[in-house]
Structure 1
């Protein structure tokens, strides 16, 4: 009887697992298939082909995939390659507290080419991928104008606080904040558009709102008052950089594939008005499948007419880490990071760092997250191309997550009193 095991069967979503099959026919091409359904009932699947060894074993830590969704030795490749049966649909965990993702693994002792196999598998297993560790608390936040969700690790603290920001999908995304809390941070998943009574678009950005959010987090009794960290991706990275540039409470900042100037909308902060660089929508390129490439839509901040819109990164109180994929097809993220770092150095700021990942695209998410090269976003009319290459991108996610945690952990002060 063919056997299939996965270990551990229950784990955090950013933790690797071991997958092994044995009692297989020797030197036989087999198929291992993975699938799950999200909270909306959408099916995601992946598959890879392997050749069993002389003992009838396949161990994903050592056995190379001969084909399928990828080739080579990639123990988490089946997770990386999960894709939706529904075109342009991105896998997002919404209910992080109530349930895990249940990923089903199946073994077929032949080359299974069908997306939905017509026969039963020879063996199967199921694992549960949680986005929150035991003991983490989830607190809904509606404090003045501030709306979001606060995740607190178990214990009394004080914990290092992080404001977590996303971009094109708007609304409230919690999966990264819940994982941050699982690693010891007090993480505020902050909504700022397309949520409840917040603005439906980002035509104008009031930095006072984000200042209120940092003060709410910093004043929480379980959060260190010595300063907070900010983590932003895509449009959220632009917001994070604005916060770092103007808010002295920000002690450390991580920007993932974003712009470095007010882009497409105005940033307001009291009497300060930073006009946005107009989008050049006429530079959108469409593909044969109807998706679009917006790489050239965001204007160049170094042009004379745009320089006043650049964010004064040199004013940031703490270090800034740019994480960029060099195959990002949404923004010219590497170029933007380089000109911002050059500006900082020109003004004597030395703690601005760039980590560029060859082959990585736009959505650098926690480890083991599926690769998403193209998807729809609620705030965008057509599917967007995000870029990247499967293996390179997912390896970059492992490295970038470690660098994110390290920068935040090493640079956010941990103090009970307001000493910032």
Structure 2
């Protein structure tokens, strides 16, 4: 039985891990999201100028996709390191990588200043962002989940899941503030750069928190037993194929839904509905703010009622709502309503996702397995979705084809949930306690 001192120490470690996971992923997703928003709003004009605005946006989303395509490399490299040398040290490296890349984007010349060199450098830095994010998620999830107790893992693991909406909230908030304070000419000329340069301050804060964090109890126990893998990627592909496929498929729907209601909706509102940048960003801000509370609540619900049930409700609801969204959205009010409800269904999937994915893999391979699932699903789901949405809108002039795409993605998620294990091996996930 644990002593009061031990309980207090473990609880303090859990709180610190939750804060490190939340703050680190929020800062990294600020970096990633500020690029996503800028790709929808300004990068088409600045780095890919052309006569057709939608073509420029399509090219800008092409560089957005590069960030997702780079994630598997980050997942392979940093996932392996996370299972071999530990969670904490890897997470410091990933935060530093994405922060430096984002800061450098703020210093880039535009196409008018440097020609083809400008979009080339943008793609390189976006690739570096993707590598960092690819290595981040698996470790951030394990930080809080491996400190937590059985029956509470859905809630505590959701710390990493709050990072994307909180990062999106900060990114769009900064861009909205800059767009409101500056003229359009000033914003396009230099104002957008401030959002990227701010990354240096935010990353320094995140590094300070992570540098003081202890290694997770689970990894300490694995190290003490000498049970760390030597070739974790190969071992996952050889022994954990079904869990890997289940985790990948389960992630497709949430990625596509997020790409619609937090990224592409900015383009849809400004290009198709003739709304201002500020109105479009406001809708995403409100939806992201709601998610900050909804995601951990969904994680809690999954502890109580089961991961697959809550996750599945979100997938079915997201599929249905995507059709309704394009039917009702014509004004700012309906846009806000549509985004908020869309992100509610996303939260029902995203909250349980961290625990569901990590629980598919054994402890000694969990960083690698979770990272591979996260990154490969990102390529299938998040990378292709904005490109597909932009193409379908340009070719058909209607959102219903986009809705069909989302419906299919959510059905893929249901298949993944069916393939995945609903049984949590608490002896494997938790550490023994004196």
Q: TM-score range by the shorter chain?
A: under 0.3
Which structure carries more relative contact order (alpha carbon 8 Å, separation 6+)?
2
Structure with higher helix content? 2
Q: Which one has a bigger Cα radius of gyration?
A: 1
TM-score where L is the length of structure 1: 0.23
